[in-house]
Structure 1
Amino acid sequence: MKTERNILTDEKWNAIIHNDASYDGTFYYAVKTTGIFCRPSCKSRVPNKKNVLVFDTADAALERNFRPCKRCRPNGLRLPDEEWIAQITEYIDSHYHESLTLSVLADMCHGSPYHLQRTFKKIRGLSPIEYIQIKRLTKAEHLLLYTDKTVMEIALTVGIPNTAHFATLFKKRTGSSPTAYRKTAGKGRGEIHYE
């Protein structure tokens, strides 16, 4: 049963949206959609109020499987780099079709763009943007082989709104245009069954 202390009151919400450091240590807030918890003074983007849970202690948030914020380090806790990058990779895998920039990812994961870029490259061996591009183009290959969507529809589906740019990226990765890939790779796979 929730006590008054664990309810997101207007006072606590105002502390969160105004990054009020005077509330640090009195409560922590977690964001259900990111799985991260913060101090009230955290400078991260203001979350959607309906996704916020309030905890008396950092340990209580940890017990509910929330991870400490990389930016504000609640109670001095730190998220290991490997786990942080795995969390970001999972987010990319689920949202690759959206407009993802280094700034958007850094904001979402409560880190700076520079630190995210450097840490992601150290752990994964490529930049976050390179990873997003590979994810998008791999999905495009699948869509070219197993659907009857046009090249333009596929480009939009994987998050690359400019068809000419999509074709250039695709050719750089595969060595052929999307249309040629569909014809030649489809023949090598036998009859294509559209989904």
Structure 2
Amino acid sequence: MDNAKSKAFIVETKNNITQIKLFKEKYKFLPGDLPFAQKFFNNVQNGNGNELVEDHKETFFAWQHLSVAKLINSNFTNFNLTYAKIYANMQYSNNSLCGYQIIADSKLNNIFYNLDEKSNFLRIALDKGFGNLTKSCLSSAESHRIDVKLDDGLPVSGNILADNGYNKNGCICILTLDYAYCKDTTDKKCILQYNIK
């Protein structure tokens, strides 16, 4: 990702975070979890209102809720899938190959992170054809640049947390001893997650 694309991607990510927070401020629930969505919008599904966007259904409904609330300019219609798919039921990036998923299951290595696994996150990753977005879409250098601009620049602290993507091994995104980004690699082997508070 060149410098211009990187800047645009950071702005796009900040905008997604802002829209999620605006939705929660207005409706008192995160998108996807809104238990009375059908009261406000036509042709949508209700969440269960437990404050977690936690199953495939709610994570799919999240972008639909944001779209019908006119907070994002996207249209999502394919909610019959049993897995996350960018463009069909997950928000896509105009500036990278990545997609965005709102989800309460962190899937992060808890040796690194002292987190409740049921925190809500905006995950930045690719779909892998089944399950959630967990396939790597960012290099560790790109991840570090984004983390510096939006948070503290450290992969295991703050609101932005990094991890090796699905099926990646070794020192790929995070140096396990230093808890720092492996900045020397340009391979797309990282996912990022923003902790929505």
TM-score tier after normalising by the smaller chain length: under 0.3
The structure with higher relative contact order (CA 8 Å, sep 6+) is 2
Structure with a larger share of its residues in helix: 1
Which TM-score applies when normalising by structure 1? Answer: 0.27
Which TM-score applies when normalising by structure 2? Answer: 0.27
Q: Max radius of gyration: which structure?
A: 1
